[in-house]
Structure 1
Amino acid sequence: MSRRVVTWVSISMDGFTSGPGGPAQDTWLYEHAMQDQTGEYFEGVWRGASIALLGRTNYEGFHSVWPGITSDPATDPRTRDLGRWLDSVEKVVVSRTLQDAPWENSRIARDLEAEVKRLKDEPGRDILVINSASVIQALLRADLVDDVRFAVVPVIVGGGLRLFPEGLPASRWTLAGAATLAHGAVGLHYRRA
């Protein structure tokens, strides 16, 4: 049995992973991520994975903040566990330009499709694509995604980076699970039909 490729991302009600001002101005994402139920729901996703697959932008962003969050004594235990997992998990960074991946257990992959096909054939737990819309889109185009998981946050941002842009190939999915979070977000889990 091959590994599953699972994608995870938070989106606005109008389908964007970040708004017109880019991630730096996306307070809605930060507010959503800081909710206790969001952390609990996401924990059920990342604990099943032994590889984190990231695009360059998310890799650099995560590396710039997570070691500090993890070492901060004021960080709650669940968030600290996520930070420890991010530190220790094998991280594959998809980039054509990145020259160095300094975060522990990181390496750079230049050919996304070849890398994911190779990883799927190896024994192990899930390959988790975290918040990298361009990587998710490329994997959907290559028909390499097994599970799509996302949280729909109750906000309309009106533009930005769309998770599912026009031009993706048609595909069918079945609902594997849904959860309503206390702050109004909805967690959805779809499996390839």
Structure 2
Amino acid sequence: MEKMMSETTQSGRKVGAEVTVSMDGYSGTGPEDDMSWAMAHISSEQSELYYEGIWRGVSTALLGRTNWEGFTSVWPAITSDPASSPRTRDLGTWLAAVEKIVFSTTLETYDLDQSEWTNARVSHDVVGEVKTLKRQPGRDILVLNSASIIQTLLKADLIDDLYLTVVPSTLGAGTRVLPDGHASSWRLSSATSFPVSGAVSLHYERA
């Protein structure tokens, strides 16, 4: 099982980014993407166990506006559904309560108060906010599947752990995760295969 992200160290909190991508490198087809191309993996019991090993080591989650709106529109119902697995309900409870920073140029914190989720606020400065968070006490920080935030933090050399889950689908177009024109070096920490869905998760650490 994937090793949990580390507790706070003297060098500061680590920043991880978790994202699901297609074989041709896209994390979605656009704002209306229903993620149907990845749901066979996302909804599998094997993936639940893997993701649990990541999020239980995190005390701050970072999201973009699109993911915030998408997550809050579906997760409260999933969390309260008795048919959901215990791990899924645990994840939903964690998402609802964990500190969440939503990066947006159009939302304000009072907009987030309309959601059933709590402990969320808006920030407009990705790099500045993350640098501040890294200096604060707490467990690690995780970007939840937001390509724009991941690209910004990669360019600023602020991502320590990159969790790429590649599913056996191609999209042909959409939103790419890795920024063009940016070079960096990484070390493979672990690789996890999921026979049921055919996906592979790769955990890279900054070299």
Q: Percent identity?
A: 54
Cα distance in 1 between the residues matched to 2:67 and 2:31: 16
Cα distance in 1 between the residues matched to 2:87 and 2:37: 21
Q: CA deviation at 1:154?
A: 1.0
Pairing 1:157–2:171 present: yes
Structure-1-length-normalised TM-score: 0.95
| Aligned position for 1:101 | 112
Unpaired stretches in structure 1, ≥5 consecutive residues: none
Contact 2:31 2:66 (C-alpha < 8 Å) held by counterparts: no
Cα distance in 1 between the residues matched to 2:200 and 2:29: 19
Pairing 1:9–2:9 present: no
Contact 1:16 1:163 (C-alpha < 8 Å) held by counterparts: yes
For 1:139-158, list aligned pairs within 5 A.
Answer: 139-158=153-172
Q: CA deviation at 1:143?
A: 1.0
Work out the number of aligned pairs and report it: 191
Unpaired stretches in structure 2, ≥5 consecutive residues: 1-9
Cα distance in 1 between the residues matched to 2:65 and 2:187: 30
CA shift digits 1:95-143 (9 cap, x unpaired): 1110221230101111111110000011111101001000000111111
Cα distance in 1 between the residues matched to 2:31 and 2:160: 31
Structure-2-length-normalised TM-score: 0.89
> Which residue identity does 2:180 align to in structure 1?
E
Cα distance in 1 between the residues matched to 2:32 and 2:202: 24
4+ aligned runs moved over 2 Å, structure 1: 19-22
| Aligned position for 2:134 | 120
For 1:14-163, list aligned pairs within 5 A.
Answer: 14-19=24-29, 22-24=32-34, 26-99=35-108, 100-102=111-113, 103-163=117-177
